[in-house]
C-alpha cells in the first residue's frame, strides 16, 4: 500500500469510528445476558449497528436493570424504553387471551409450538397486542418449564400440595397450582432468588436457562423435569417511538430483528441440553440438588390434574382459540 493509500485508509477509519450514532434504541429485559433472550437481544444490537452503518445504536439493559416486570410495558408506552420481550404471562392485564400460552400441557412439543406461534393463532394474538398500542414483532423462545422446590422431591401432584410456588402474574398459572392443592404467589422475576432463599416461597417453575443463569439451583433442593408448561416471549416495540423513527432506517431494524429471531430460537433449542448438563454437573459436585425425571405414566397424571383447569378459561381465552391450538398437527 502506498503512503497516500495508508493515510486515506486511516482517515476513513477515524472518520467512521468518530460518527456518533444518530438514533438510540433502548432494549430492556429481565433475564441474564447469557440466556437465549439475552443473547438474542445482544445479537439484534450488533446487527442493527452493522446494517445501519452505525447510524442506529441499540443499548441493551438486562437483568431488570432499567425496568422490571410490570414496568417494561409502561416504559414503552411512555417512550422511555423502546423494545422489550416480556413473557406471555406478562401480557395478562392488557391481552388476557395471551394466557393461552400458560395453559399447562397445551403444546405437544417444539414443532407444535412453532406451528402455533407462526400460524393463525400467533397472528390473532399479535393483532390483539397491536390493538393495545404496541408494535408486535416476533415470538422468541425460552423453553418448557420445570418444577422445583426446596421442600421435597415433586414426583406426583400430591407432592406439591401445600407448597408455595412463585408464579408470574397469570390467572392460568394461579389456577394450575391451585388445581394441585399448592399455593401460588405472584412475584416479579427479579425477586425470585431471594424469595426462594428466604423461604417466602418453597418452589417455582422455570425453563432451565432461567433456572441456571439466575442460580436458582443454589436455593432449591429438587428439580423435576416436568415440561408441564411453556415460557416464551413476544418482542414488542414502543408505537410512539416507531412512528417517529426515520422511514429509511426501518427496514434495517426489521431485518436485524428477523435475523435475531432465527438466532434466538436456535439458541433456545440448543440451550436445554447444555443447561441440563451444567445442572447435572452442579448436582454431582455440590450434592445440593437432586434432578428427577418423570416416567410417561407420571407425566400423564400431571397432565390430567392440570388440564382440568381448561374449561375455566374457555371464556377469557376463547374456547375456539384453545381448540385451534389443539387441532394444529
Q: Name the residues that contact ligand LMR, by CB under 6 A.
A: 30-31, 87, 142, 168, 189, 210, 231
Instruction: Report how far residue 28's alpha carbon sits from residue 74's, in angstroms, rounded to the nearest whole number.
Output: 12
Smallest distance, Å, CB 291 to ligand LMR? 20
Compute CA distances 181 → 158, 222, 279, 281, whole Å: 8, 19, 28, 32
Instruction: Report how far residue 307's alpha carbon sits from residue 314's, in angstroms, rounded to the nearest whole number.
Output: 12
Smallest distance, Å, CB 38 to ligand LMR? 9
Which residues does residue 225 pair with via DSSP β-bridges, in sequence order? 293
The number of residues in the chain equals 329
Residue pair 15/246 in contact by the 8 Å Cβ criterion: no
Smallest distance, Å, CB 61 to ligand LMR? 13
Instruction: Report how far residue 148's alpha carbon sits from residue 154's, in angstroms, rounded to the nearest whole number.
Output: 8
Q: Which CB sits closer to ligand LMR, 35 or 52?
A: 35
Give the 3-state secondary structure of residue 201: coil
Q: Which CB sits closer to ligand LMR, 64 or 163?
A: 64
Q: Which CB sits closer to ligand LMR, 190 or 326?
A: 190
Q: Which CB sits closer to ligand LMR, 31 or 106?
A: 31
Smallest distance, Å, CB 233 to ligand LMR? 7
The cell for 30 is 429481565
Q: Which CB sits closer to ligand LMR, 52 or 89?
A: 89
Task: Report which of 222, 70, 71 is spatially closest to residue 159, judged by C-alpha positions.
Answer: 222
Compute CA distances 107 → 162, 176, 284, 307, 322, whole Å: 27, 15, 31, 12, 11
Smallest distance, Å, CB 249 to ligand LMR? 28
Smallest distance, Å, CB 142 to ligand LMR? 5
Residue pair 145/229 in contact by the 8 Å Cβ criterion: yes
Smallest distance, Å, CB 161 to ligand LMR? 23
Instruction: Report how far residue 226's alpha carbon sits from residue 280's, in angstroms, rounded to the nearest whole number.
Output: 16
CB atoms within 10 A of CB 19: 10
Instruction: Tell me the longest C-alpha to C-alpha distance in the chain.
Output: 79
The cell for 212 is 441456571
Instruction: Report how far residue 234's alpha carbon sits from residue 229's, in angstroms, rounded to the nearest whole number.
Output: 17
Of all helices (H) and strands (E), which one includes residue 26?
Answer: strand 23-28
Smallest distance, Å, CB 126 to ligand LMR? 18
Q: Which CB sits closer to ligand LMR, 122 or 207?
A: 207
Q: Which CB sits closer to ligand LMR, 125 or 252?
A: 125
Q: Which CB sits closer to ligand LMR, 56 or 182?
A: 182
Amino acid at each position: 500500500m502506498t503512503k497516500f493509500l495508508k493515510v486515506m485508509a486511516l482517515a476513513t477509519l477515524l472518520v467512521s469510528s468518530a460518527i456518533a450514532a444518530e438514533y438510540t434504541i433502548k432494549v430492556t429485559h429481565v433475564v441474564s445476558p447469557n440466556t437465549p433472550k439475552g443473547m438474542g437481544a445482544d445479537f439484534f444490537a450488533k446487527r442493527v449497528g452493522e446494517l445501519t452503518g452505525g447510524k442506529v445504536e441499540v443499548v441493551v439493559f438486562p437483568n431488570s436493570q432499567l425496568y422490571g416486570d410490570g414496568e417494561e410495558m409502561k416504559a414503552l408506552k411512555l417512550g422511555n424504553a423502546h423494545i422489550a420481550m416480556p413473557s406471555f404471562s406478562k401480557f395478562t392485564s392488557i391481552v388476557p387471551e395471551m394466557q393461552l400460552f400458560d395453559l399447562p400441557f397445551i403444546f405437544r412439543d417444539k414443532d407444535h409450538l412453532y406451528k402455533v406461534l407462526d400460524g393463525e393463532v400467533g397472528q390473532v394474538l399479535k393483532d390483539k397486542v397491536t390493538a393495545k398500542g404496541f408494535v408486535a414483532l416476533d415470538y422468541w423462545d425460552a423453553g418448557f418449564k420445570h418444577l422445583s422446590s426446596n421442600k421435597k422431591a415433586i414426583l406426583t401432584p400430591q407432592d406439591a400440595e401445600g407448597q408455595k410456588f412463585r408464579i408470574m402474574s397469570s390467572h392460568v398459572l394461579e389456577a394450575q397450582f391451585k388445581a394441585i392443592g399448592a399455593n401460588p404467589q405472584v412475584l416479579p422475576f427479579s425477586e425470585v432468588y431471594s424469595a426462594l432463599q428466604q423461604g417466602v416461597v418453597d418452589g417455582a417453575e422455570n425453563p432451565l436457562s432461567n433456572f441456571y443463569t439466575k442460580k436458582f439451583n443454589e436455593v432449591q433442593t429438587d428439580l423435576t423435569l416436568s415440561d408441564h408448561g411453556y415460557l416464551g416471549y413476544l418482542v414488542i416495540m414502543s408505537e410512539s417511538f416507531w412512528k417517529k423513527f426515520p422511514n429509511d432506517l426501518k427496514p434495517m431494524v426489521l431485518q436485524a430483528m428477523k435475523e435475531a429471531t432465527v438466532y434466538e430460537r436456535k439458541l433456545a433449542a440448543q440451550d436445554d441440553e447444555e443447561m441440563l448438563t451444567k445442572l447435572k454437573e452442579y448436582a454431582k459436585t455440590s450434592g445440593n440438588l437432586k434432578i428427577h425425571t418423570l416416567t410417561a405414566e407420571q407425566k400423564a397424571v400431571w397432565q390430567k390434574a392440570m388440564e382440568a383447569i381448561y374449561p375455566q378459561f374457555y371464556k377469557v381465552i376463547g374456547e375456539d382459540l384453545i381448540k385451534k391450538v389443539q387441532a394444529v398437527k
